[in-house]
Amino acid sequence: MNRIRNLRSADIPHLLELSRLAGWNQTAADWERALTLSPHHCFGVETDGRIVSSAAAFLYGQDLAWIGMVLTHPAYRGQGRARSLLDHTIKALRQAGIGWMKLDATEQGRPLYESLGFAAECPVERWKRPAGKGPKPAAPPLVHPYVVDPSFDRAYFGAYRVPLLNALVRAGEAAFVVGYGYAMTRPGSLATYFGPSVVRTREAARRLLEWFLANHGEEEIFWDLFPDNTDAVQLAIDYGFEPARHLVRMAAPCRPGATPLAHHNSSIFAIAGFEYG
* Contact (Cβ atoms closer than 8 angstroms) between residue 1 and residue 47: yes
| Final residue belonging to a domain, choices 122, 147, 166 | 122
What local confidence, expressed as pLDDT, does residue 141 receive?
A: 84
- pLDDT above 90 covers a percentage of the chain that reads 94
| Mean pLDDT, residues 165-193 taken together | 97
What local confidence, expressed as pLDDT, does residue 137 receive?
A: 81
Do residues 9 and 146 share a domain?
no
| Mean pLDDT, residues 33-57 taken together | 97
Do residues 70 and 15 share a domain?
yes
What local confidence, expressed as pLDDT, does residue 234 receive?
A: 98
| Mean pLDDT, residues 25-54 taken together | 97
* Contact (Cβ atoms closer than 8 angstroms) between residue 226 and residue 246: no
Do residues 103 and 182 share a domain?
no
Do residues 234 and 132 share a domain?
yes
Distance CA 42, CA 125 (A): 25
Phi, psi for residue 265 in degrees, rounded to 5: -65, -25
| Final residue belonging to a domain, choices 85, 105, 122 | 122
CATH, residue 231: 3.40.630.90
| Mean pLDDT, residues 47-74 taken together | 96
CATH, residue 57: 3.40.630.30
Q: How confident is the model at residue 68 (pLDDT cuts 50, 70, 90)?
A: very high
Distance CA 93, CA 95 (A): 5
| Mean pLDDT, residues 214-225 taken together | 96
Q: Is 6 among the domain residues?
A: yes
pTM listed for this prediction? 0.96
Do residues 112 and 217 share a domain?
no
What local confidence, expressed as pLDDT, does residue 199 receive?
A: 98
Do residues 8 and 145 share a domain?
no
Number of domains in the chain: 2
C-alpha angle 187-37-109 in degrees, rounded to nearest 5: 75
Greater confidence, 141 or 226? 226
- pLDDT above 70 covers a percentage of the chain that reads 100
What local confidence, expressed as pLDDT, does residue 134 receive?
A: 87
Q: Which domain holds residue 77?
A: 2-122
The residue among 237, 190, 228, 168 whose CA lies nearest residue 209 is 237
Do residues 266 and 130 share a domain?
yes
Do residues 169 and 96 share a domain?
no
| Final residue belonging to a domain, choices 55, 88, 122 | 122
Q: What is the mean pLDDT of the chain?
A: 96
Q: Is 250 among the domain residues?
A: no
pLDDT at 243 exceeding the cut of 80: yes
Q: Give the model confidence (pLDDT) of 8-22 as tens digits.
A: 999 999 999 999 999
Do residues 113 and 18 share a domain?
yes
Q: Return the minimum-mean-pLDDT range out of 19-33, 71-85, 263-277.
A: 71-85
Q: Give the model confidence (pLDDT) of 191-218 as tens digits.
A: 999 999 999 999 999 999 999 999 999 9
Q: Is 14 among the domain residues?
A: yes
Q: Give the model confidence (pLDDT) of 106-154 as tens digits.
A: 999 999 999 999 999 999 999 999 998 988 887 678 899 999 999 999 9
